[in-house]
Chain A
Amino acid sequence: MSSVVVVGAGPAGLAAAAAAARAGRDVLLIDAESRRGGQYHRQDLLDTTERFPLPPGVEHLAETVVWAVEPGRRLHLLTGPADGPGRRRRTVDAAALVIAPGAHDRVLPFPGWTLPGVYTAGAAQAMAKGQRVAVGRRVLVAGTGPFLLPVARAVLGAGAEVAAVLEANRPRWHTEPRGLAAGLAKAPELLGYLRTLAKHRVPYRTRTAVIAAHGADRLESVTTARLDERWRVRPGTERELEVDALCVGHGFTPRLELAVAAGCALSGGFVSVDPAQRTSVPGVYAAGEVTGIGGADLAAAEGAVAGLAAAGAPVPPRLLRRVRSLRRFAAALDRVHPVGDGWREWLTDDTLICRCEEVPYRALRAAAPGARALRLTSRAGLGLCQGRTCGAAVADLCGLPGDAFARRPIAAPVRLGELIDEENE
């Protein structure tokens, strides 16, 4: 029986592991990636200096994926490169479990979004940060949310030209004075991004979106348009723009499968937690983007709370106040970057919604209602990504709850041969 087990070595998981270890517990920190840091603090694979040294008392299992969680906090792990042979299987029983697997970036479908050359903002950032590779020579960044800015900067940093940053909303910050105040500490970071954009003469346009991407077998150009408040295209504002790469991001969807498998209750599409980051399942805690989208600072603060609580140590009120304040800011950010429902009007009958199974919008509309029947009759969400990419869009388009695709008892692909191998612990 391991003491405190933390899944995810992003800001939330790292903070949880450090806090639990400081409270005197043995900690096992598990992450699918080869290096610590998670999504945002992804470390340069070519640079061997370690930005996140391991706190004493923490054992880190790198390149280890949790592919199943059974009741009673039993985790099933596979260690080794995901595409290589001979991954090692093992089972860990956690006395206390902190779930911090983060989120995927969300992309709304639009005509042409599956063309090579169209990237999720996260993938573009990962390539720039992890491998110092730019996704193209002339790159457009589009979508909504503050995360478009660091993505643009990372792309610039990798040596590409950024044609523009298009933000579909026009953030109405004056309606959120309290939230804004809570986020004041972020102002220098924001100014830094804007300064970088200005220095490279990158235009930043609000209420503007990419509504279609074009190209024979890879991206050659896009159609941009001005939007109204609900993201409907303002007629006559369509423009063609030549770019060889497009990075799109429309917020995030939490990675819920581990929490769902552990039996944790959800609310509003995220894992429900109390102020000590306790989920509805005894001994199971959650922190970071799975409990709500709020950025790296909030993730780290929640992680520290979860780590202490999981270790059975008292949580200082100061830390709880910090989480509350950051959450206020996150909620305000979320409210000023809503996803307008006008994006449905960008779709054509042929627009693919589920790219793995190549399900066009037409087929989705013809499918039987109800999550299970819909999936089986349209095949949306049944492909390799298991709805991780398309689930939120399908749910939106079909009036299903946002977490309709969250149940994935097999949390990561596992080869039949690996299942059979005798456990070699």
Chain B
Amino acid sequence: MVDVTVVGAGVIGAACAEALSAAGLRVLVVDRADPACGTTAAGEGNVLLSDKPPGPELELARVSRALWPELLAHLGASAEWEPKGGIVVATTDAGAAALAATASGQRESGVDAVALTPDQVADMEPLLTKHITAAMHYPEDAQLQPVLATVALLTAVRQRGGEVRSGEAAVGVVTKGGAVAGVRTERETVPCRIVVNACGPWSAAFARAAGAPIDVLPRRGMILVTAPLPQSVRHKVYDADYVGAVASGDADLQTSTVVESTQAGTVLIGSSRQRVGFDDTIRVDVVTELARKAVALFPFLADVPVMRAYGGFRPYSPDHLPVIGEDPRLPGLWHATGHEGAGIGLAPATGRLLADLVLSRPPSVDPRPFRVDRPAVIAA
């Protein structure tokens, strides 16, 4: 007998399944493709505090940042976890002022944000442009390999008696007395009292199929990968307009540079944000804009070849907060989605919070900002 079916085996579905199975529930995870092959494989694997202004998302991120290393240690997985720290740099006076203001708010929320002198920055990132007006070090910023992390979470689910099925789409739910009584897949109906919608950017489609539509939309992102290089960028380095791009709902192209080296020697240059539906064709203007900003931060990159571009669709809700909780219109249907550009970082806290709510435990973060019945999420 299955207690909970999690629909979607991305990092969010995997984290929910892990947390629920750790609490002793029998969990089934279904994915229409293979685990971690959706948005989760498209991200950079940043686990960040630096890019979040004070507010509910930062609270969730702080809990999650603390949980990731604990959880990985508990699961005996490394998932290439690396707390390498981030440096945010401003290149204009206005940018410097905004950065200082954001950092002071973040500090009040308990984030470690250290202002750097020009000499310190030059020491920490010798290849960085000298034309900067301010720099802030965020030692807590970290990264991991999202696919490996997802696989580790799902392995734990299996070890606890749960099941993970690939290549099986969920097509709806069955109800009894106005509440969920099972999930319908392409192949069969699985009786269960709880269904978790963790379909990432496709969550709106599943919610609609389940009869409880929510507003979660795709926001396209693209990343450039260079050829492997001898030189490297030591931290994650962002330009200060990152914060602005994350919070904006503008459909137009936005880019905010994040430059970092990977263990393979390549440099990742992320990333863009654009609302173009599920259109995944290459946009050269986006590539060009990313290149321009990356070279502005690291002039040596001008001579470096890009060999690949990839990306995906960040799942976002119109108010840019994740959706975590039970659907008031259909008891037994839960949503865990809308994590936009931060789902990798926010996954463990999301799983923990969902399990807290399912089991009526005291929640690890205030759940109200993420509830389903927000005007932005449930269309009138």
Contacts and interface: CB of A to CB of B under 8 A. Distances in A.
A71 B287 CA distance: 15
A185 B225 CA distance: 48
B304 A416 contact: yes
A283 B282 CA distance: 19
Interface residues of A, number: 33
Contact of A71 (B269, B281, B305, B308): B281
B288 A420 contact: yes
B227 A368 contact: no
B308 A416 contact: no
Secondary structure dominating the interface of A: mixed
Contacts of B37: 370-373
B282 A70 contact: yes
B307 A68 contact: no
Contacts of B301: 416-417
Interface stretch (A148-156, A213-221, A309-317, A376-384): A376-384
A414 B291 CA distance: 11
Contacts of B42: 372
Contacts of A368: 34-36, 147-148, 151
A174 interface: no
A326 to B, nearest CB: 33
B10 to A, nearest CB: 11
A384 to B, nearest CB: 6
Interface residues of B, number: 40
B292 interface: yes
A357 B308 CA distance: 15
A82 B42 CA distance: 29
A175 to B, nearest CB: 36
B151 A377 contact: yes
A410 B151 contact: no
A373 B36 contact: yes
A92 interface: no
Point out which of A69, A91, A368 has the most chain B C-beta atoms below 10 A from its C-beta: A368
A416 B34 contact: no
A71 B283 CA distance: 9
Interface in A399-414: 408-410, 413-414
Nearest to A383: B228
Contacts of A386: 307-308
Nearest to A385: B307
B170 to A, nearest CB: 18
Contact of B41 (A74, A373, A384, A420): A373
Interface in A378-400: 379, 382-384, 386
Contacts of B96: none
Interface string B268-309: 010000000000011110011001101100000111111111
A420 B295 contact: yes
Nearest to A82: B305
B145 interface: yes
A322 interface: no
A420 B224 CA distance: 14
A76 B281 CA distance: 14
B380 interface: no
A261 interface: yes
B41 to A, nearest CB: 4
A420 B269 CA distance: 14
B292 A263 contact: no
A56 interface: no
B287 A419 contact: yes
B41 A419 contact: no
A369 interface: yes
B358 interface: no
Given A372-B37, A416-B301, A416-B306, A382 B264 contact: yes
5 contacts: A69-B282, A368-B151, A372-B41, A413-B306, A415-B304
Given A369-B35, A370-B33, A370-B35, 5 more contacts: A70-B284, A376-B147, A379-B264, A416-B226, A416-B294
Interface of B: 33-37, 41-42, 145-148, 151, 166, 224-228, 264, 269, 281-284, 287-288, 291-292, 294-295, 301-310
